Amino acid sequence: MPKHSGTAGLSPNFLYPRLISNGLFTNAKKMIQRIVLVLGLLCLYACNAKERKGEKEFISEQEYNGYEFTSSILYAKGFTIEKKENYKKISVYNPWQKDVVWKEYALIPRNKSIPENLPDGIVVVKVPVNSVCTFSNTHIGPIVKLGLENKLLGMTRAEKVYNKSISEKVKRGDIANLGGAHNKNVDIEQIVELNPELIVLSALNGVKAGEEQLAELGFKLAYSLSWMEETPLGRAEWLKFTAAFFNKEKLADSLFKQTEMNYKQLKAKVVNLKTKPNILLGWSYKGIWYVPGGKNYMVSYLRDAGANYFLFDDETRGNIPMSVESVLDQCSQADIWIYPGISKSLNDIENSGEIFTQFKAFKNKEIYNIYKRTNDYGASDWWETGSLRPDLVLKDFIQVLHPDLLPQDTTYYMNNLN
């Protein structure tokens, strides 16, 4: 049985001894500032909670039927959904510790009472959730896909959203901008004022201080870790995770099945290919090239699209830091170069250093990036819908690697740099 990590439950205890014993502050001044801030936020949260009591505590027959449907998780390794006797249980696993539970959630219909004897540390969420905030543009895709835009109260980096409908709502002030990305510099006071029933976020190498504060204030934090999956279909299946909180699992299951079918049909087109181009992935940052390892989801696309890649046998899920010279030594003759960082043109690459012009792919102008669908604000649809539509991404890879297989098609996310 999986063990529970220490972050399974955070106690809303603001007593002085706890602050001191945990070493949260090094002097009395900081302690007082913290207490004043927390008390102020608690007061604001309490006021908003009273206002929220007037919201419906019943669900329609259609919503209840949506709750009764439970998804089968086929590809994703990072979460499970189980139907218990009187609640639905979601387990999210720690991506850095094998078989360790990161968070557990008990989903309970709004018109039902909370069961007794629930497991310690489990986060209770009444469903369907009526309001939500997100901490990553990646989480906007599922919200839109499931038709839940009207439940979105706020998001981080709202000025960098690609979806036109969401962008317009941000401009009108209907959706609040909650600050920076990656759970940093988030406007906690704004969140308290909005008082969402759920916050969808990613875990980035552990729980950040701001997340602890939100948990201590009583907010429900739903950790969506699709970015840690090794396969494209595994990433896409996290749509079911978001859907469960809104009683939309049946819809998510139907959408995923269509994506899965499309993906498998495309994959079958390249099975018998004898010629497979050599591919270079990634880009250099401050002299270090972070090369996707053999278990990285982007490398899964290369396998399924009929490519050769020098790290196919590697077991690394993340990126492998290498010097530019080492990459040039091993990949100088790669036929195609995909995802060269934020480069938008061949000039961008050339201006980054003469060494990059020595790659065969540069000389032959066979370099592709993921910014074909980008708006005037610099937002890319790749980050919002790419993980949900691996079928479209795989189609792009096949179009780039084997254009003769799809002669009538054009790429959706990728563009050839010129």
Estimate to the nearest angstrom the gap between the alpha carbon of 360 and the chain centroid: 34
| Residues whose CB is less than 8 angstroms from the CB of residue 403 and which lie 6 or more positions away in sequence, other chains included | none
Q: Which domain holds residue 216?
A: 3-261
Residue for token pair 């936020």: 41
The pair of three-digit structure tokens given for residue 294, joined into one six-digit string: 């053999």
Q: Are residues 80 and 183 in the same domain?
A: yes
pLDDT, mean over the chain: 86
Residues 278 and 407 in one domain: yes
Q: Tell me the C-alpha distance between 163 and 370, whole Å.
A: 16
User: For residue 128, is the peptide bond before it cis, meaning its omega torsion is within 30 degrees of 0?
Assistant: yes
pLDDT for res 63: 63
Are 385 and 276 members of one domain? yes
Nearest to 231 by CA among 52, 394, 345, 5: 394
- Flag residues of the chain having pLDDT under 50: 1-35, 44-56
Whether the CB-CB separation of 310 and 293 falls below 8 Å is answered with no
Of 232, 261, 290, the residue that ends a domain is: 261
Predicted local distance difference test score (pLDDT) of residue 26: 45
Residues 85 and 183 in one domain: yes
Residue 14's pLDDT is what?
31
Task: Please check whether residues 257 and 290 belong to one and the same domain.
Answer: no
Q: Which residues of 160-172 are buried (b: 16+ CB within 10 A; e: fewer)?
A: bbbbeebbebbee
Q: pLDDT tens-digit profile of 105-159?
A: 999 999 899 999 899 999 999 999 999 999 989 999 999 999 999 999 999 999 9
d(CA 161, CA 403): 31
243 and 354 in a single domain? The answer is: no
Helix, strand, coil % (nearest 5) of the chain?
40, 15, 45
pLDDT, position 226: 93
The letter for the amino acid at 195 is: N
Residue linked to tokens 């992935």? 281
The total number of structural domains in the chain stands at 2
Separation in Å, CA 357 to CA 283, 336, 347? 13, 13, 10
Among 226, 261, 296, identify where a domain stops: 261
Tokens of 387: 């993980």
Residues 191 and 286 in one domain: no
Residues 174 and 278 in one domain: no
pLDDT, tens digit, 9 for 90 and up, residues 341-374 = 999 999 999 999 999 999 999 999 999 999 999 9
Which of 261, 291, 322 is the C-terminal boundary of a domain?
261
What CA–CA distance (Å, rounded) separates 29 from 35?
10
pLDDT score recorded for residue 43? 53
pTM above 0.95, yes or no: no
The answer to whether residues 43 and 149 belong to one domain is yes
The region, left, alpha or beta by phi > 0 then psi within -120 to 50, assigned to residue 182 is left
For residue 128, give both structure tokens.
């369907």
Same domain, 364 and 328: yes
CA distances from 330 to 32, 270, 307 (A): 57, 25, 16
Provide the CATH number for the domain around residue 385: 3.40.50.1980
Residue with tokens 């002085």: 16
Same domain, 57 and 83: yes
Domain shared by 44 and 138, yes or no: yes
